[in-house]
Amino acid sequence: MIVSATKGPYGHLKELPASMSVEWDPKVCQNQRTPLRIPDRHIAVFLREKNIKAMTMWERVQIDTTGALRDRFPAKGHYKDRGAYDDYFLVKGDASIEVEQAPNDKDTPIGIELSTPVLPFIPSSLGLINEVLSALFEAFDVSVNASCGLHVHVGNGDKGYDLAWLQSIASLLWSGSALLDCLHPVHRGPAHLYSLGLHHFATLAHTREIMRYKGPFAPTLQSVARPFFRETPGSRWSNDPAYYMRREAFYDSWIQDPLMIWCGLQQLKETKTIDELLGYMFHVNPGFEGKRLAYNFRNLRFQNDDESLVPRTIEFRQHEGTVDIEAICMWTRVVCSLVEACRDNPYRAENAALKAVNATLGLGRYDAIDILRDIGLRTEADYYQPQLRLRDVGVVELVEPGQEQDPVQENHNKPGRASKTAKNAWAALKSIRGCYRARDDSDS
């Protein structure tokens, strides 16, 4: 977020009042190389006066004058023994936030990152976030721009994730990422530097098997697309035409190759170890260290290492920065509930993954709202549905083979190309969807 330097409850945010003076060991400060950011301290002191536990990054590694905090995290067993700062809001700077330079450098706004404590996914946690942000937005002049983002880390305490749970999460995100993109503005699309799309930048999108199904000369998928060991409609569908969804930050079109997605699902379900699956979900370029994908699994590399301080979380990075508290809480509910659904009801998550890929095959209408409803997030789906309608994007809807061509493929398909295979796939999908409904009804 961006905070105005000229408005604050204690005066100018780049001036340190006497009441906020601090003491520190210069030797420790030099070793840690952590600067004392005065604006951060304004915000942390304000939250403390509201009886909210808050601290600055500088205080996390230095000696706080109140004596209430230790100078650093414990070296070992942090997540097993509960660390010293698990229940503190953390205020720090963010160099990636772009601010407009003021004529007077002192009045230039400040880029701030506010991290929440480790919170359980319960209503009171969202209430605490609401309380903190409401107080903060009232006391300070806060705004956002396109360089700001909302990152949500979802974990399982100190237990981490098992392989089956991760397979379900990764499969749903891989198959539905293009549709979920449409819940976000275009500038947070799959080409955004800090939230890159899985279908272009994940290692899974560049494996040897995947590359066989990319491009105009790719082979027919035939019967290999059975990621959940069920009959899959479209498994004999040729790879042309490729379907396009206009959801890019910097490109005019976003290529969705259904054969590539089917093949990726199969590879995810065939993984034998967590390390193998995580390798697929990392950034294809090791230089990026996997930190900038929209769905970041890299923190789970050390989830079985009790001495590691890396949080055992999946990071959802795509949401835009916002001062709409309801939007912040709603997106938090979506990603936490999505992860929970993949553990508690993997069958529904698998169905949503299958349907998302079927949509790219042209076998019916399916969008991000349908994904949310299929995994049980009806309240969240009702919240996002008006926004999706206003944006008028995000729905892949094709007619039955032999009928009028859909606009999304009018430039990518030859007139009259409604093959017998396509008709058979359509009929297969109808019968399978009947099974979906029957099984869903039996579950309720």
- Other residues' Cβ atoms within 10 Å of the Cβ of residue 283: 19
Residue 152 lies in a domain: no
CA distance 419 to 410: 16
Given a contact cutoff of 8 angstroms between Cβ atoms, the answer to whether 28 and 174 are in contact is no
Residue 154 lies in a domain: no
259, 137: one domain = no
CA distance 312 to 32: 25
The tokens for 272 are: 């034998």
Q: What is the dihedral of CA 152, 155, 158, 163, to 10 degrees?
A: -150
24, 109: one domain = yes
211, 320: one domain = yes
Residue 158 lies in a domain: no
Given a contact cutoff of 8 angstroms between Cβ atoms, the answer to whether 200 and 328 are in contact is no
- φ/ψ (deg, to 5) at 265: -60, -45
13, 73: one domain = yes
Domain that holds residue 283: 163-443
Question: Where do we find the tokens 């979906």?
Answer: 436
216, 299: one domain = yes
CA distance 349 to 86: 31
283, 331: one domain = yes
298, 433: one domain = yes
The tokens for 243 are: 């379907």
97, 205: one domain = no
187, 299: one domain = yes
Question: Where do we find the tokens 């082979």?
Answer: 219
Among 76, 110, 143, the domain boundary falls at 143
In three-state secondary structure terms, 404 is coil
Given a contact cutoff of 8 angstroms between Cβ atoms, the answer to whether 164 and 345 are in contact is no
246, 341: one domain = yes
Residue 186 has a pLDDT of 83
Q: Helix crossing, 163-180 with 274-281: angle to 10°?
A: 20
**Residue 345 CB partners (closer than 8 Å, separation 6+):** 375, 376, 443
pTM of the entire structure?
0.75
CA distance 401 to 425: 10
Residue 218 has a pLDDT of 54
The tokens for 192 are: 């955004």
Residue 122 lies in a domain: yes
139, 171: one domain = no
Residue 178 has a pLDDT of 84
CA distance 92 to 111: 9
Residue 68 lies in a domain: yes
Among 143, 174, 202, the domain boundary falls at 143
**Residue-level pLDDT, tens digit, the chain, 444 residues:** 999 999 999 999 988 887 776 655 444 444 444 556 889 989 999 999 999 999 888 777 654 433 333 443 333 333 444 455 578 899 998 888 999 988 888 999 999 999 999 899 999 999 999 999 999 999 999 999 999 999 999 999 878 899 999 999 999 999 888 888 889 988 888 878 888 888 888 889 888 777 666 655 555 444 344 444 444 444 333 333 333 334 444 433 344 455 678 788 889 989 999 999 999 998 887 666 545 899 999 889 888 887 777 788 999 999 999 999 999 999 999 999 999 999 998 888 888 888 887 776 655 678 889 999 999 999 999 999 988 765 544 444 433 334 433 333 333 333 333 334 334 433 433 433 333 333 333 343
Q: What is the dihedral of CA 285, 287, 293, 296, to 10 degrees?
A: 110
Task: Tell me whether the omega of the peptide bond preceding residue 241 falls within 30 degrees of 0, making it cis.
Answer: yes
Residue 150 lies in a domain: no
303, 354: one domain = yes
- In 64-185, which ranges are E strands? 89-93, 110-115, 142-143, 149-155
CA distance 76 to 78: 6
